[in-house]
Amino acid sequence: MKKILLTAAMTAALVFGGNVLAQSKLGHVNAMELVQQLPEADSVQNALQTYAKDLQDNIATMQTEVQNKYAEYQNNQSQWSELIKQTKAKEIQDMQVRLQEFSAQAEEDYQQKTQELLAPLSDKVKNAIEAVAKEGKFAYILDASNATVFFGSEAIDVTSLVKKKLGLPDVPVSKTLPR
Say if pTM beats, i.e. exceeds, 0.75: no
Q: By the 8 A CB rule, do 60 and 53 touch?
A: no
pLDDT digits (tens, 9 = 90+) for 34-79: 999 999 999 999 999 999 999 999 999 999 999 999 999 999 999 9
Residues 6+ apart with CB under 8 A from 105: none
pLDDT bucket at 149, cuts 50 / 70 / 90: very low
